[in-house]
Amino acid sequence: MKPTTAPPQTYRVKSFGCQMNVYDGERMGELLAERGITPAPEGEEADLVILNTCHIREKAAEKVYSDIGRLVKAGAEAGKQPLIAVAGCVAQAEGEEIMARAPAVSIVVGPQAYHRLPEMLDKAALGERATDTDMPAIAKFDALPARRKRGPSAFLTVQEGCDKFCTYCVVPYTRGAEISRPFSHLVAEARKLVEAGAKEITLLGQNVNAWAGEDDNGRRVGLGGLIRTLAGIDGLARIRYTTSHPNDMDDDLIAAHGEVAKLMPYLHLPVQAGNDRILKAMNRQHTAESYLRLIERFRAMRPDIALSGDFIVGFPGETEAEFADTLSIVDEVRYAACFSFKYSPRPGTPAATMDGQIAPEVMDERLQRLQQRIGHHQYAFNQASVGKRCDVLVERTGRHPGQWLGKSPWLQSVWFEGDYAVGDLVEVKLAEAGPNSLRGLVTHV
Ligand code: SAH
Ligand code: SF4
Ligand code: F3S
């Protein structure tokens, strides 16, 4: 056994990957705060560094090893090694490998087990290394402390895990089966967030619209029902949710977009590809046509809704003509924003061993063409917003004094000038559009 090490007094969490990791990172911080461990001041080395990792693509997963190397080097230069914990989806998928490959790591903790971080720190203080990759998801939430004050926009994980098993994806393995947190817990957490100053709550889940529960009267409700209840919380101005799966959409959630004023006109609904043979090989269980019909229903309910999506180029076997179908669906939907990726073979997933793996240079070229189309539509969406009036939720100060940055209802970045504070909802007229942001003018004063 190694000698006892002093308990850490400061920490830093570095979260990679999706917003669920950001949420988990915040909750780890709250756990540590209960122990009197505080965030390391900007520019100072922390006693405890938590790498909250993502396994979705190879690049993201490999990053953890270079990050560990960098921490060890910085520690050697500073004459003091930090305690290193690896959390998140790489911890879940490759816990043993991390322990074997990286002796500097003391703690490996999976995304469903981090509520046990305090006990693991006790072990680390005795010089022991600890791994915990159990998956008792609900137990985790029950064991976490109350929410603390954050910015005006907060995340709230309502659903975790995935049962869809798209053939390229690691999430069902790293996050486990789909579970929904109980209705009453979520309403209570949302109230706490609003009391702590949140004006906007984004409901999170790997398949957030698969959320299901029972309301206070014992009635079965889906995400639409949860949103209607949360909309009743005074002081909460905006509700968003992400990421949805096309096959989990129900009528009530679509209707909520026409009926709940606090539900923002924005929908992130990944389709991944525009070709049905590829969608089938991906095991998406929907077609391009059924996806487009779903989008039409949202647009009928809320004509100004902004759409965003995720795309993968170069899935095994993807021909040039099949890729062209992806470009077509982008043109058809005219997304306001998108994330697009080169296919990355992930160990243990069916697609990794499929025939017809695509050459990197072909993927590069397809990604470039796709991003060019996406960029075109994003800019067009921003330009079409010019002249509209909307509220902007102020998130931070801009580059220049008196400048503020926030989000429009359509999740665009908007900057404007005036005498305001973070957390204000300010009505502006959108005056000028760039590819990635808009300028607003305050006209009501
Ligand atoms: N549950 C969400 C997405 C989770 S992962 C959904 O189904 O929409 C986020 C995005 O990463 C996916 O939408 C997909 O576009 C991308 N992704 C997942 N696995 C990938 C892989 N092996 N290679 C490249 N991109 C991938
Ligand atoms: Fe991955 Fe598919 Fe599940 Fe999304 S739905 S997390 S892409 S397996
Ligand atoms: Fe990455 Fe895990 Fe999220 S693999 S995208 S951090 S669910």
Ligand 1 centroid–CA 172 distance in Å is 11
Q: To test the ligand 3 pocket, which listed residue (52, 56, 163, 178) has its Cβ within 8 A of the most ligand atoms?
A: 56
State whether residue 76 is helix, strand or coil. Answer: helix
Contact between residue 111 and residue 135 where contact means Cβ atoms under 8 Å apart: no
Contact between residue 150 and residue 198 where contact means Cβ atoms under 8 Å apart: yes
Query: From the CB of 137, is ligand 1 less than 6 Å away?
Result: no
The tokens for 18 are 């999706």
The reply to whether 146-263 and 265-385 are identical in fold is yes
Query: From the CB of 112, is ligand 3 less than 6 Å away?
Result: no
Query: From the CB of 32, is ligand 1 less than 6 Å away?
Result: no
Query: From the CB of 88, is ligand 3 less than 6 Å away?
Result: yes
The tokens for 203 are 């409901």
Query: From the CB of 17, is ligand 3 less than 6 Å away?
Result: yes
In angstroms, the CA 174 to CA 112 distance is: 9
Ligand 2 centroid–CA 128 distance in Å is 36
* Ligand 1 atom at minimum distance from 170 CA: 19
In angstroms, the CA 140 to CA 109 distance is: 12
Query: From the CB of 166, is ligand 2 less than 6 Å away?
Result: yes
| Residue 137 pLDDT class (50, 70, 90 cuts) | low
Task: Over range 301-309, report the average pLDDT.
Answer: 98
Which strand (E) or helix (H) includes residue 261? none
**% of the chain residues with pLDDT over 70:** 98
The model's pLDDT over 141-196, given as tens digits with 9 standing for 90+, comes to 888 988 886 789 999 999 999 999 999 999 999 999 999 999 999 999 999 999 99
Whether the per-residue pLDDT at 364 is higher than 60: the answer is yes
**Residue 2: predicted pLDDT:** 53
**Residue 67: predicted pLDDT:** 95
CATH no. of 265-385? 3.30.750.200
The model's pLDDT over 308-341, given as tens digits with 9 standing for 90+, comes to 999 999 999 999 999 999 999 999 999 999 999 9
**How many of the other CB atoms lie within 10 Å of CB of 28?**
22
Task: Over range 201-217, report the average pLDDT.
Answer: 97
Whether the per-residue pLDDT at 5 is higher than 80: the answer is no
The tokens for 249 are 């959409």
Order of strands, sheet of 337-342, starting from the edge strand that comes earlier in the sequence? 266-268, 306-313, 337-342
The model's pLDDT over 396-419, given as tens digits with 9 standing for 90+, comes to 998 888 899 999 999 999 999 999
- Indicate which ligand has the atom closest to the C-alpha of 341: 1
**Residue 146: predicted pLDDT:** 83
Q: Which CATH architecture describes the domain 389-442?
A: Beta Barrel (2.40)
Q: To test the ligand 2 pocket, which listed residue (19, 171, 279, 344) has its Cβ within 8 A of the most ligand atoms?
A: 171
The mean predicted confidence, pLDDT, of the chain is 95
Location of structure tokens 């909307």: 390
The tokens for 436 are 């990635």
Query: From the CB of 173, is ligand 2 less than 6 Å away?
Result: no
Query: From the CB of 174, is ligand 3 less than 6 Å away?
Result: yes
Q: What are phi and psi of 82, to 5 degrees?
A: -75, 160
Ligand 3 centroid–CA 42 distance in Å is 26
Ligand 1 centroid–CA 247 distance in Å is 16
Query: From the CB of 165, is ligand 2 less than 6 Å away?
Result: yes
Contact between residue 307 and residue 292 where contact means Cβ atoms under 8 Å apart: no
Residues ≥6 apart with Cβ < 8 Å to 294: 246, 249, 269
Q: Cα separations (Å) of 234 from 58, 107, 228?
A: 44, 41, 13
Ligand 3 centroid–CA 21 distance in Å is 7
Ligand 1 centroid–CA 195 distance in Å is 34
Task: Over range 68-90, report the average pLDDT.
Answer: 94
Q: To test the ligand 2 pocket, which listed residue (55, 164, 343) has its Cβ within 8 A of the most ligand atoms?
A: 164
Query: From the CB of 341, is ligand 1 less than 6 Å away?
Result: yes
In angstroms, the CA 186 to CA 213 distance is: 10
Which strand (E) or helix (H) includes residue 339? strand 337-342
In angstroms, the CA 367 to CA 343 distance is: 10
Of residues 3 and 170, more confidently modeled = 170
- The model's pTM: 0.95
**Residue 316: predicted pLDDT:** 98
Residues ≥6 apart with Cβ < 8 Å to 332: 292
Using a 10 angstrom Cβ sphere, with 0-12 exposed, 13-18 middle and 19 or more buried, the burial of residue 270 is buried
Location of structure tokens 């400048």: 403
In angstroms, the CA 241 to CA 296 distance is: 19
Contact between residue 428 and residue 442 where contact means Cβ atoms under 8 Å apart: yes
Which strand (E) or helix (H) includes residue 362? helix 360-385
Of residues 365 and 137, more confidently modeled = 365
In angstroms, the CA 37 to CA 30 distance is: 9
Measuring CA to CA, which residue among 14, 79, 4, 92 is closest to residue 49?
14
CA 314 to chain centre: 23
Measuring CA to CA, which residue among 186, 165, 194, 199 is closest to residue 229?
186
Residues ≥6 apart with Cβ < 8 Å to 263: 227, 231, 239, 240, 256, 257
The model's pLDDT over 8-31, given as tens digits with 9 standing for 90+, comes to 999 999 999 999 999 999 999 999
Q: Spelled out in words, what is the top-level CATH class assigned to the domain 146-263?
A: alpha beta
Superfamily of domain 10-136: Methylthiotransferase, N-terminal domain (3.40.50.12160)
Query: From the CB of 18, is ligand 3 less than 6 Å away?
Result: yes
**% of the chain residues with pLDDT over 90:** 89
Ligand 2 centroid–CA 283 distance in Å is 10
Ligand 1 centroid–CA 242 distance in Å is 13
In angstroms, the CA 288 to CA 182 distance is: 33
Instruction: Tell the residue nearest (CA) to atom 3 of ligand 3.
Output: 18
Concatenating the DSSP letter of every residue in 235-288 gives T--EEEEE---GGG--HHHHHHHHH-TTB-SEEE---B-S-HHHHHHTT----H
Whether the per-residue pLDDT at 136 is higher than 80: the answer is no
Peptide bond into 242 cis (omega under 30): no
DSSP structure class, residue 224: H
Instruction: Tell the residue nearest (CA) to atom 6 of ligand 3.
Output: 54
In angstroms, the CA 36 to CA 30 distance is: 10
Domain boundaries, the chain: 10-136, 146-263, 265-385, 389-442
User: What letter represents residue 393's amino acid?
Assistant: L
Ligand 2 centroid–CA 169 distance in Å is 6
Task: Over range 361-368, report the average pLDDT.
Answer: 98
Query: From the CB of 346, is ligand 3 less than 6 Å away?
Result: no
Strands 159-160 and 403-407: unpaired
In angstroms, the CA 307 to CA 299 distance is: 10
| Residue 4 pLDDT class (50, 70, 90 cuts) | low
Strands 179-180 and 159-160: antiparallel
